[in-house]
Amino acid sequence: MTRNHSPKSLAVLLRARMHPDPVSPAPPPPAPTAAAAPDPDPSAPPAAAAVRHWLHASVSSSASTALDRFSDGYRSLDRPGRREILRSLAADYDVPRARVRDLMRQYLSAAAAGGEEEEEEHPEAGGGGGSASAMYRMERGLREALRPKYAGFLEAMNAQPGGLKLLAVIRADLLALLGEENLPALRALDGYLKEKLVTWLSPAALTLHQITWDDPASLLEKIVAYEAVHPIRNLIDLKRRLGVGRRCFGYFHPAIPGEPLIFIEVALLKDTAASIQEVLWDDPPTPESEARCALFYSISSTQPGLSGINLGKFLLKRVIEMLRRDMPSVQIFATLSPIPGFMQWLLAKLASQIKLAEAESQDGSLLEGTSSTFRESILFPEEERMIHDAVEHAGGKSGIKLLQDILKSSQWVKSDKLSSALKSPLMRLCARYLAREKKRGKALDAVANFHLQNGAMIERINWMADQSEKGIQQSGGIMVNYMYRLENIEEYALSYLGTGLAHTSSNLLQYIEDLIQFLFAQGTLLDSSGLVPETNAEAIRVARSRGVQTIIATGKSRAAVIEVLGKVNLVGTCVVSKLSPGVFLQALLYSLEHRVALVAFSQDDCYTTFDDNPLVDFFLVYHEPKVRRHKFVFLETPEAISSMLRPHWARRVDGMAQVILIQAQSDVLEVVPLRTSKGNGVKIMLESLCASPDEVMALGDGENDKEMLQLADLLVLCSPMAAR
């Protein structure tokens, strides 16, 4: 039997599994000869010195010839050579800080000598004077000096043919280097390059194109090669993904012709799919006239160097708009997404709990503070029993140890008994991972974070939705549907970005609990001997393992209850006691008893006890919303603060590491968490900006400015601080 192929089919078939490398392979190093000149930099690869020469020429002149020679040279370098060039680019062509400091001193001197206050009050009067002109010139000089030397090089490279593609390669190399060498100069270079790429790759500069079987074979080859979520197996698979009931859209840039920067695959279905098998092997496909759901099942980037540019967000939004316009019957916009970090998180969690349990067992007693912070019950008692029953030779191992052993191999999916035993704990823990586990206030899972910040909600998790080897290893075969409800997209996106709240459907609430408070009155938490019965202790442990916040209210002393809880591995549980209230309650009682105005801040809320002090209105207006912080402020006369309030609260918080006193003004006394200071805030800002303290000018007039002033290179002490 003979088989006929079109030229396109043959081209795609022959090259389907060949991933096009955006970087040319490094050539073999030249053989050394006796006549060869010594390399100027013995530690660098032989070709790196020449590329550094062309880098310097490109930065100095931005000539096309130099840029071309640098581009060719950089592509020819091996990994160590490229890293040498990146270090040089970041360090040797950074902001000229010595010049910036000189200009700042000149500017401040000129401002002081020229009477800047009058000009600020009457700019129209001094606008044409020599003093104002000089100030404008110095300001322009400062702006230019603050621009890194590599800025012009990057902009010139972007204007070169093939330059944008090379910049994407450079950033990919830079991100890889940052993973090993997290240096401020490299971070600054990455931040600047990312900022420029965001501008150059704005949606206005991109073209949305529907990729079909009729596109050139070279383009289809790239779709096969770069599909990152569900590999395209063969021509039949590719044709199905581009055929009836399917869509594939890509973002293209004119500077990188014939290659999408990112592309997304869509299945048109009657309802939301619960497994990837339904999507990839939907034969025959759903008639498009009957489709009600647009399911996004794969989104892939072709340029690793464009990470963090938000191309996926813009592409998803454009595709939803296009499908709404062209297919009115489609009412549901959802995803069937992988959960790439779940199994890694779970195995790490199991390992840490096993290690803590072993440490406690070896010591014969609880490690001080260990259980309060880190120990938790990963498995429910009934889940642990099911796992023990499913394992033939448990060997006396704990449930979490058995679970760890099972998950280290993907063979468990072949056993119906093991799969049945693992379904309940894995689905519950996966729901917790998606909705509750955070990194810097946002979802720990990268895919979840992407969709949640775009305005999606977590709709449903699906058991054995991806039974491929990759799917089992990444997430135990579980996949998740994110739902884009068009009327709520903006609301959900703003809510998530502001508070980190992940909106979930009722389908997910069967696995996770909302915030619950357990209130134990005296006589129910403790038994007649004044101890916590094991049944109560286990109930609290189970609640905490499910992410439930437990609060114990008692009529006994807080210290005594905490001590008793420590005996049953429950140290760290929140305890509220009328006899010994926490710091906030102490402040409230003190304010009411002594009629001292109190203003308290807790996250986004602000509370006050008395409003007859004029400073209360100032604090109510001044405090910043959407900032997670906890502190309280007493407002009194300077005499009362120095003679009564400060000595009293110094005794109250003595030995309590979580609070410190700051007298911001003579009539204001603050009680704030440890490490809360302007100085610490400046340190965080400098780290974010990749700057150093010698670039900081600080102005301060109070005790709470002291740490910040000590940090700064140039400081201005205002009255009354100057007198101190």
Name the helix (H) or strand (E) containing 669: strand 668-673
CB-based contacts of 130: which residues, under 8 Å, 6+ apart? Answer: none
For tokens 């409003």, the residue is 611
Which strand (E) or helix (H) includes residue 294?
A: strand 293-301
Structure tokens at 553: 């209210």
CA distance 462 to 336: 9
- Active site residue: 298, 337, 410, 591, which one? 337
User: What's the distance, CA 497 to chain centroid?
Assistant: 11
Angle 184-200/150-159 helices, nearest 10 degrees?
A: 30
Closest-CA residue to 517 (of 538, 555, 543): 543
Beta bridge partners of 263: 250, 300
DSSP 124: H
- Partner residues linked to 254 by β-bridges: none
451 carries an active-site annotation = yes
Per the annotation, the verdict on 56 as an active-site residue is no
> Is residue 293 a contact partner of residue 269, using CB atoms and an 8 Å limit?
yes
Q: What's the first-to-final CA gap in the chain, in angstroms?
A: 98
186 with 87: CB under 8 angstroms? yes
Is the CB of residue 296 less than 8 Å from the CB of residue 334? Answer: yes
Q: CA–CA separation, 521 vs 578, rounded Å?
A: 12
CB atoms within 10 A of CB 490: 10
DSSP letters along 334-366, please?
EE-B--TTHHHHHHHHHHHHHHHHHHHHHHTSP
Contact 716, 697 (CB under 8 A): yes
For every residue of 674-702, DSSP letters joined together read TT-SHHHHHHHHHHHHT--GGG-EEEE-S
**610 phi, psi to nearest 5 deg:** -130, 135
CA 565 to CA 557: how far, in whole Å? 12
Long-range contacts of 282-291 (CB under 8 A, 24+ apart): 282/245, 283/240, 285/240, 285/243, 285/244, 285/245, 285/246, 286/245, 287/244, 287/245, 288/244, 288/245, 288/327, 289/329, 290/329, 291/245, 291/327, 291/329, 291/330
Q: Which helix (H) or strand (E) holds 101?
A: helix 97-114
C-alpha span between 620 and 616 (Å, rounded): 6
Catalytic hit among 230, 253, 451, 503 = 451
Cβ neighbors of 75 (< 8 A, separation 6 or more) are 23, 24, 166, 169
Q: Tell how far CA 536 is from the center of its chain.
A: 38
Question: Tokens representing 418?
Answer: 């093991």
Catalytic positions: 337, 451
